[in-house]
Amino acid sequence: MDHWSAASQWTLLALVTCGAGVVRGLAGFGGPLILVPVFSFFFPPPSAIASVMLIDFSANLKLLPDALRESRAATVLPIIGGALLTLPLAGWVLHSVPTEWLRDVVYLVVGAMSLLILSGWRYRGSESTGTLLAVGAANGLVVGTTAIGVALYPFLISGRQSAVASRANFIVWAFFCTSSAFAVVWLDGSVGHAELLRAALLAPAYLGGVYVGNRSYRLVDEAVLRRLVLLVLIAVAVAGVLA
């Protein structure tokens, strides 16, 4: 914006980026959901989204090694496999249904599921390979049409696995989503010198926040961590619908 000096703009972006990194490291998600609206205030949306993807990709590389050790391949691989089946269909859906309507539906479902789980409900049904494939297929469509990968988290956190395992499973899923989206924007030509420079300047602040959040989550009681994640999801859902 014209009334912001360059120094004020970059100071604000660095502070917000660091704070988003703390949330990303603590909960395993949420960084891009915080950064995209702020970046879009200063830059055109395609450029803002491409910059955030590049910045968040650095966090995925940081968080992935621990997440791979703590995640369950039997859970994550079928979900990713299901997503790969439906991602090619996302382009057709994207041109058939208004994106804004799809986003609102996703946010409403995420918010409603988070409220339900916060009330004490847990998913007691089957977690068979077929169920996980179906969940992955549904989320593949969601990611391909709305770029909202967080829609999977309520399912992961509502099951019998610990909050730590759910977080790790989601980080692996987020790495898959970010890599797929990054490939799309790269091939689309949305990543240029400006986005690369912006990401290079702000990634250290993000990684610093991720480091703090990643170290802190191990000190938080599991029940508190689960509740915190659900409250963040509810806040994201409300903000998404009202935006």
Q: Where are the domains of the chain?
A: 6-242
CA–CA separation, 145 and 67 (whole Å): 26
| Confidence at residue 90, expressed as pLDDT on a 0 to 100 scale | 67
| Confidence at residue 229, expressed as pLDDT on a 0 to 100 scale | 74
Q: How many CA atoms lie within 13 A of 228 on its CB side?
A: 20
Q: Is residue 117 within 8 Å of residue 166, measured between CB atoms?
A: no
| Confidence at residue 13, expressed as pLDDT on a 0 to 100 scale | 92
Residues 73-113: tens digit of each pLDDT: 999 999 999 988 887 776 666 566 666 676 777 778 777 87
Q: Is residue 42 within 8 Å of residue 233, measured between CB atoms?
A: no
Chain center to CA of 190: 20
Positions in the chain short of pLDDT 50: none
Chain center to CA of 185: 16
Q: Is residue 52 within 8 Å of residue 27, measured between CB atoms?
A: no
| Confidence at residue 207, expressed as pLDDT on a 0 to 100 scale | 92
| Confidence at residue 15, expressed as pLDDT on a 0 to 100 scale | 93
CA–CA separation, 27 and 228 (whole Å): 8
Element (H, E) at 4: none
Would the CA dihedral through 173, 175, 180, 182 be positive or negative?
positive
pTM of the model: 0.70
| Confidence at residue 2, expressed as pLDDT on a 0 to 100 scale | 55
Q: Is residue 59 within 8 Å of residue 21, measured between CB atoms?
A: yes
Q: Is residue 166 within 8 Å of residue 217, measured between CB atoms?
A: no
